[in-house]
Amino acid sequence: MTKRQARPTTERQSARRATTEQAVEQVPRRGRRKPGPQREADFVVIGAGSGGVAAARRAAVLGARVVLVERGEIGGTCVNRGCVPKKMLSYGAGLAAILSGCLSHTGGKEDWSDAIVRVNAEMARLQVAYTHRLQEAGVELLRGDATVIAPDQVQVGAQAIRAKRILVATGARPRTLPVPGGELACSSDDIFTWQSLPASLVVIGGGYVAVEQASILSRYGVKVEMLVREDRLLARFDHEIAHALAEALAAKGVRLHFNTEVTLLNQANGAIDVCYRQRDAAGNGEDRIRTVRAQAALAAIGRAPHWEGLGLETLGVQKAEKGGIRVDRSFRSRVRSIHAIGDAIDGLHLTPVATAQGRWLADRLFGRRGDRADFDLVPTAVFCEPAIGSVGLTEAAAIAAAGKPERIETVVRRFVSLETRFAGGEQASMVKLVVNARSGRVLGAHMMDNAAPEIVQALAVALRLGVKLSHLQTTVQLHPTVAEELFG
């Protein structure tokens, strides 16, 4: 299955857009639109993803005249090509895992075509809900491509908008594999448009998207092979958790190949050949050239900030190290009236980070001195199966910060959850705490279990407040839970 074959008709997408547009017309506007081609606004936000929507709504609630420009679907990557559809599919995959364990005699299996219909319904519902909420707040939604033609002027089609402040919240796009034939690989954006699944898939990458999609799609019956450049998965996560996850994925049938460098993709009789070089892990310099054939290939090698074509560089807006818009701590670019947040800047590319940045910026620009979110301690999750939740320092980062390994202690527990036992499984879950040996302060918490993301979100507050291991040990456990493994 090639990328193009995998792409379905656009009927669903046009149906979704029609539903959204209908809803736009049903909601009465608040009469902020000025007639004529040139109009005034306090705040023009380009991009209606998580960050842009949050900033636009907050600014409008604070009384600013806000125009939000979007050329695609409301909700951006999170709603349409990221968090929401992925999380729903991971629920389906998780249910399939439990059902196939409990009901192995009936072969309880989740069906992709049924799942994707339910995912699309939720995406459409969210687009309508977002649109309503924006209009209720008084944000004017303008459809089209925006170009910033002056530090205080945005052009959308034939309309020019003069604005005191401009916010670029245009997100990021999947990177294309930089090898011959790289365009044959699809991106995670494409997966959510698949009507049916390929029988086999090569996943290139070892980060969030690669791990999540490998896990989800294998649960839907796809034969998955992963080509990972490093010698481990999830380079930014704690090594023990990543190692445990690799074992869990392998046990579920995902074939993992580490130390690989993809060199070429070729079309081969309706399939794709992915050629790669595998470094000799023993260091004898005997690299091996291999090929893996599958019906489809997925490149999950990161996402690049997307702000070309907006005309920003000619105005003096600068690029930062990783390709995002260079901004200061107040999200202001080198052009003082132009701000940027979320995936369009360097930093953590996570939906809640963009949302927090957008709200804080709107507060700051339009009257309220909001508290800045703590961007140094951001909880994060990988929605694979079992899921990973993580907050704070990894063991390696804590040792690097402390200077000496003996200054850091770890508490590691492995256990089989009741959920897994009920499904007849043996897969161990894992909890790891990274602790300052002298003060007892917990510096990082890392978990692998399907409950991990929910637990780690709450634990992030405790870490921010300086929780010590002794606090956890003297808090009475709630039994039977997965969270109790962190206590006692």
Residues with catalytic annotation?
Answer: 479
Stretch of 28-36, 50-58, 204-212, 248-256 contacting ligand NDP, by CB under 6 A:
204-212
**For ligand NDP, which is the closer residue by CB, 65 or 87?**
87
* Residues 153 to 192 in contact with ligand NDP, rule: CB under 6 A: 178
Q: Applying CB under 6 A, what is the total number of residues that bind ligand NDP?
A: 23
Burial class of residue 341 (count of CB atoms within 10 Å of its CB; 0-12, 13-18, 19+): buried
**For ligand NDP, which is the closer residue by CB, 235 or 289?**
235
Whether omega for the bond prior to residue 386 falls within 30 degrees of 0, making it cis, is yes
Among 171, 181, 207, 389, binds ligand NDP (CB under 6 A): 207
Stretch of 57-65, 150-158, 250-258, 374-382 contacting ligand NDP, by CB under 6 A:
374-382
210 forms part of the interface with ligand NDP (CB under 6 A): yes
384 forms part of the interface with ligand NDP (CB under 6 A): no
**For ligand NDP, which is the closer residue by CB, 12 or 229?**
229
194 forms part of the interface with ligand NDP (CB under 6 A): no
- ∠ Cα 236 350 18 (to 5°): 145
**For ligand NDP, which is the closer residue by CB, 379 or 444?**
379
306 forms part of the interface with ligand NDP (CB under 6 A): no
Give the tokens for residue 27.
């909601």
User: Closest CB to ligand NDP belongs to which residue?
Assistant: 207
| Sequence letter at residue 386 | P
Q: What does the alpha-carbon distance between residue 99 and residue 171 come to, in Å, rounded to a whole number?
A: 37
* Residues 233 to 252 in contact with ligand NDP, rule: CB under 6 A: 235
112 forms part of the interface with ligand NDP (CB under 6 A): no
209 forms part of the interface with ligand NDP (CB under 6 A): yes
- Minimum Å gap between C-beta 303 and ligand NDP is 4
Residue 109 phi, psi (nearest 5) = -125, 140
**For ligand NDP, which is the closer residue by CB, 208 or 366?**
208
CB atoms within 10 A of CB 285: 7
Which residues of 269-407 form beta strands (DSSP E)?
Answer: 271-278, 288-294, 296-299, 303-305, 338-340, 380-382, 388-392
Give the tokens for residue 463.
């870490």
Give the tokens for residue 141.
């939604």
Closest CA to 304 of 350, 266, 275, 345: 345
- Minimum Å gap between C-beta 204 and ligand NDP is 5
Closest CA to 145 of 132, 126, 131, 158: 158
- Minimum Å gap between C-beta 437 and ligand NDP is 29
Stretch of 194-202, 244-252, 296-304, 423-431 contacting ligand NDP, by CB under 6 A:
296-304
Q: Which helix (H) or strand (E) holds 50?
A: helix 50-61
Closest CA to 6 of 233, 346, 272: 272
356 forms part of the interface with ligand NDP (CB under 6 A): no
Among 381, 387, 447, 482, binds ligand NDP (CB under 6 A): 381
- Minimum Å gap between C-beta 196 and ligand NDP is 23
- Minimum Å gap between C-beta 351 and ligand NDP is 7
Burial class of residue 18 (count of CB atoms within 10 Å of its CB; 0-12, 13-18, 19+): exposed
State the pairing for strand pair 200-204/38-46: unpaired
Stretch of 101-109, 376-384, 434-442, 463-471 contacting ligand NDP, by CB under 6 A:
376-384
CA distances from 166 to 39, 43, 66, 287 (A): 14, 6, 10, 51
**For ligand NDP, which is the closer residue by CB, 72 or 440?**
72
**For ligand NDP, which is the closer residue by CB, 262 or 469?**
262
217 forms part of the interface with ligand NDP (CB under 6 A): no
Closest CA to 305 of 170, 128, 451: 170
Question: At how many degrees (to 10) do helices 112-137 and 50-61 cross?
Answer: 20
- Minimum Å gap between C-beta 477 and ligand NDP is 28
CB atoms within 10 A of CB 173: 16
Among 72, 302, 311, 370, binds ligand NDP (CB under 6 A): 302
300 forms part of the interface with ligand NDP (CB under 6 A): yes
Binding residues (CB under 6 A) for ligand NDP: these are 178, 204-210, 212, 229-230, 235, 262, 300-303, 349-350, 380-383
